[in-house]
Structure 1
Amino acid sequence: MLRKFGILAIAFCALEAQAKVDAVQAARLGNDLTPLGAERAGNADGTIPAWTGGVTPPAEYQRGMHHPDPYKGDQVSFVIDGNNVAQYADRLPVALKALVERTPGYQMRVFPTRRSAAAPQRIYDATKENATRATLISGGNGIEGAHSGIPFPIPQEGLEVIWNHIMHYKGDQVHILNNQAVVLANGSFNLIKRDRYIYYFYNREGMTLKDLDNTLLYYKYKVLSPAKLAGNALVVQDTLDQILSTRRVWRYNRADRRVRRLPSLAYDSLQPDTNGLATADVVDTYNGAPDRYEWKMIGKKEMLVPYNSYAVHQQGIPYDNIVGPKALNSDLLRYELHRVWVVEAELRPSFNHPYAKRRFYVDEDSWQILAVDLYDKKGDLVGLQESHPISYYEMPLFSSTLETVYDFKGSRYFVDGLDNNEPMYDYDIKLSPRDFSPQALRRDGN
């Protein structure tokens, strides 16, 4: 028995060692690798350029503006539609190819590749420190030895890539006014406007390992319209290791003026006000504990993915010009060729979820998930998620401006992040954890 225990202990230590990289590998960060771990060089045929530090904001940009398009002078390189999509199949997420095939008039406008992603220097510095000390713990459900930056800039397995997405820099705190909509099969939709606040804990300036206390972020929102939903509110206290300590969620219902603790808002539980279309774990393309899936690294590939989506972000565009009857207005979208990490997740037999298999396409430059193929338990392709990202110059950070979930079987889709006719995100707002308590939720709801 002692011998068996010793073998297990040695194996465990080996696994822990594999979760880190040595100092020689870490020294590549900021050299042949970018500070966040991407290949600095371009590809062999020049269709992906070298990373040179990220985007330079246009001269007319001022803090508080909707972010002007730094690449508005770019010409379309080529267009993919239902007539020629098959010839690009090897460079398209499977579900994106399906969306083009099943949506009359949908065109993927492919532009020159612009490697615009960037982050603050302190995030780069923390990422280099994390590279030699971060490890997965609790069977992959948590992380130790990392703060602020990307935990696994030189990933050794698929789950590390997913954690990099979950923990990539999105600011210290932010106030957001935007809209979401479920677009039904007949093309009808109603906007729901939400007033949102997020206090990021893991990434914030001054964070140290001892300060983390298993906290990832705090989040709350209040519905502003339509009138029948206005006043409903939600607050979330999110943990890093959600097996060790579960996500805490409270909801305020205007009808009875009460705050109630929700038993769960994770995994396959449905987000409020999404007509049953959006599960809790599709927020930010993927979030929450990874324990219900087996994760597999497929590798890195050059793929055509949403990127630099400034055109659909611009101020003043009517929302019904963006939200089409079967898909977003593809005339406002931009696709580029980028290297992405491809990771597959297979649902473990003892669990249920509408998505029994997912294939994630994760940007090497920012660790933002850009697209997800969604499969049901029969193995049928049932949907697509897309994240349409931009650089938020004021931080800087690279994140989505719009997110979608397409339901192929129901011929409908969910879109979140419509902000063209709202004030731009406020990263200067002052927040604290006290703003995210059940008591604060009750005050906000009144």
Structure 2
Amino acid sequence: MLTFSRWPGVAVLLACFATPVLAADPQGGVQLGVTLTPLGAQKAGNAAGTIPPWTGGLVTPPAGYPGSGHPHVDPFPADKPMFTITAANLAQYRDHLSPGQLALFKTYPDTFRMPVYVSRRTGAAPQWLYDNTRHNAANAVLAPDGNGFTGAQGGIPFPVPASGVEALWNHIARYRGIYVERRAAEVAVQRNGSYVPIVAEQQGLFRFYDPQPAADTNDNMLFYYLNQIRSPARLAGGVVLVHEPLDQVREPRQAWIYNPGQRRVRRAPSLAYDTPISSADGLRTADDTDMFNGSPDRYDWRLVGKQELYIPYNNYRLGQRSVKYADLIKPGHLNPEFTRYELHRVWVVEGTLKPGARHLYAKRRLYLDEDSWQAAVVDQYDGRGELWRVSMAYLKNFYELPTTWSALDVFHDLQARRYHVQHLDNEEASTVDFSRPIPAAADFSPAALRRMGTR
């Protein structure tokens, strides 16, 4: 039974919902590809037969898929929900739900529901990434105090984690292609369901996965990110550039902003930790993005173990062109008609704010999909120890690579009864595109940002 003596109210809540956890495999990296998948998950299914064995995942796009940059074709169009979890039948499923998910049922008892489908372990990655992950199992080493790592090459750094911070780095450094472009909208949804889409074009260069980085590329750089706002008119033309190091204690994140009204580039004073994100209307902090990003140094991280959890998985319906934003965005939460949940094993990682450190969240608990290391659910607690925010990543396999990533990221504020959604692209001209030529790191410099602003 888990105990949290620092927050008695949380201890009572979690004691009611506690579930058994499984220990990490003691065999280490030698079991990769044997009893473990190439990324460190258990190959076998569960004893109940409700989680199948992993047999290689989804590596071939289904018929009719035109290629990267186009909406994904659902590889399982005939699947129907096996059952639906509601507030009325919650008691029989609560052992496979996080406290945050249970809180969503309590907050929205009449409308929130989880349609549960057959579990399909579609998680997969390229063979070269599997090879690199095997190398990392024997060579990756945490930086001092867990602020980054060394000795790893493009792959999961710690496929058999020995600590919470190692498991967290597996999420932070997971594979999302080498270079990606995407056009997408984000919305802050008010209590009555109203919202205003903010549409942006984004570029991401994942330097850690670049097989031939430029000779002058910073070895401590994880990725470069560029975000250009296209609408609404009052925000159009604004650009944010981010340089994301691995060890952000040694080398802090750098960010620059281009303001079209002032026609100049300036350094962003702070874009890390619990800095509120303006486009999210205060519903997301800087390190909420991507479920968790940035430096882990303000928390003590504990590897709790494994748990079987109903998580969003294989969510291809969310990106269909026939589904409009108004169909999907409803008061309180996404329209459950278009969501898909499955039972999967997750790694449970808990971060407790260090004494003397500052952050809005006193504790955060991440549930990492074992087949991809992508965080699927995050429960976050305020300084009083009360559950405050719940984040869910609606996962799917981007089979053109392949990799498991998020179709939508949704951030719920239980106290405000508002939520924020990222990566909406149903009504945009294009979607995630991994096929574009890989640019040089110099294209992500402040000088390039200035040139972009004068075009």
Number of residue equivalences: 426
- Equivalent of 2:451, from 424, 443, 446? 443
Secondary structure at 1:60 match in 2: coil
What is the identity, as a one-letter code, of the residue corresponding to 1:61? Y
Is residue 112 from structure 1 mapped to residue 115 from structure 2 by the alignment? Answer: no
Q: State how far apart, in whole Å, the 2-side matches of 1:159 and 1:142 are.
A: 9
The corresponding residue for 1:8 is none
Contact 1:145 / 1:209 at 8 angstroms: preserved in 2? no
TM-score by length of 2: 0.91
- Equivalent of 1:319, from 325, 337, 345? 325
CA shift, 1:276, in A, is: 1.6
Contact 2:184 / 2:431 at 8 angstroms: preserved in 1? no
Is residue 57 from structure 1 mapped to residue 61 from structure 2 by the alignment? Answer: yes
The answer to which of 432-441 and 239-248 deviates more is 432-441
The corresponding residue for 2:415 is 409
The corresponding residue for 2:364 is 358
The answer to which of 370-379 and 55-64 deviates more is 55-64
Q: State how far apart, in whole Å, the 2-side matches of 1:127 and 1:261 are.
A: 36
Contact 2:214 / 2:441 at 8 angstroms: preserved in 1? no
The corresponding residue for 1:154 is 160
Q: How does 1:169-248 map to 2 (within 5 A)?
A: 169-206=175-212, 213-248=219-254
Secondary structure at 2:31 match in 1: coil
Secondary structure at 1:131 match in 2: helix
What is the identity, as a one-letter code, of the residue corresponding to 1:424? T
Gaps of 5+ in 2: 1-23
The corresponding residue for 2:79 is 74
CA shift, 1:22, in A, is: 12
Q: State how far apart, in whole Å, the 2-side matches of 1:22 and 1:154 are.
A: 7
- Equivalent of 1:35, from 33, 38, 51? 38
CA shift, 1:212, in A, is: 6.1
The corresponding residue for 1:432 is 440
Q: Which runs of 4+ in 1 moved over 4 A?
A: 21-24, 206-212
Gaps of 5+ in 1: 1-20
The answer to which of 242-251 and 308-317 deviates more is 308-317
Contact 1:85 / 1:101 at 8 angstroms: preserved in 2? no
Q: Deviations over 1:62-110 (max 9, x none)?
A: 2133111111211211111111113211110111111122112111000
CA shift, 1:210, in A, is: 11
The corresponding residue for 1:45 is 48
Secondary structure at 1:273 match in 2: helix
Q: State how far apart, in whole Å, the 2-side matches of 1:360 and 1:160 are.
A: 13
Q: State how far apart, in whole Å, the 1-side matches of 2:346 and 2:333 are.
A: 24
CA shift, 1:350, in A, is: 1.3
Q: State how far apart, in whole Å, the 1-side matches of 2:400 and 2:282 are.
A: 35
Q: Compared with structure 1, are the counterparts of its residues 134 and 268 closer, same or farther at alpha carbon in structure 2 (3 Å cutoff)? A: same
CA shift, 1:439, in A, is: 1.7
CA shift, 1:24, in A, is: 6.5
Contact 2:74 / 2:316 at 8 angstroms: preserved in 1? yes
CA shift, 1:421, in A, is: 2.0
Q: State how far apart, in whole Å, the 2-side matches of 1:251 and 1:208 are.
A: 25
Q: State how far apart, in whole Å, the 1-side matches of 2:27 and 2:376 are.
A: 30
Secondary structure at 2:106 match in 1: helix
Contact 1:202 / 1:212 at 8 angstroms: preserved in 2? no
Q: State how far apart, in whole Å, the 2-side matches of 1:39 and 1:206 are.
A: 32
CA shift, 1:428, in A, is: 1.7
Q: State how far apart, in whole Å, the 1-side matches of 2:193 and 2:400 are.
A: 36
Secondary structure at 1:267 match in 2: coil
Q: How does 1:243-254 map to 2 (within 5 A)?
A: 243-254=249-260
Is residue 260 from structure 1 mapped to residue 266 from structure 2 by the alignment? Answer: yes
The corresponding residue for 2:6 is none
CA shift, 1:213, in A, is: 1.1
Q: State how far apart, in whole Å, the 2-side matches of 1:92 and 1:323 are.
A: 23
Q: State how far apart, in whole Å, the 1-side matches of 2:397 and 2:331 are.
A: 28
Q: Deviations over 1:99-124 (max 9, x none)?
A: 12211211100000000011111100
Q: How does 1:74-93 map to 2 (within 5 A)?
A: 74-93=79-98
Q: Deviations over 1:296-326 (max 9, x none)?
A: 1110011111111111122242111111111
Q: State how far apart, in whole Å, the 2-side matches of 1:429 and 1:185 are.
A: 39
Q: Deviations over 1:370-408 (max 9, x none)?
A: 001111010111110000011111111110010011001
Q: Deviations over 1:212-251 (max 9, x none)?
A: 6101000011100000000011000110000010111000
Q: State how far apart, in whole Å, the 1-side matches of 2:327 and 2:49 are.
A: 35
Q: State how far apart, in whole Å, the 2-side matches of 1:62 and 1:205 are.
A: 26
CA RMSD of aligned residues (A): 1.9
The answer to which of 383-392 and 97-106 deviates more is 97-106
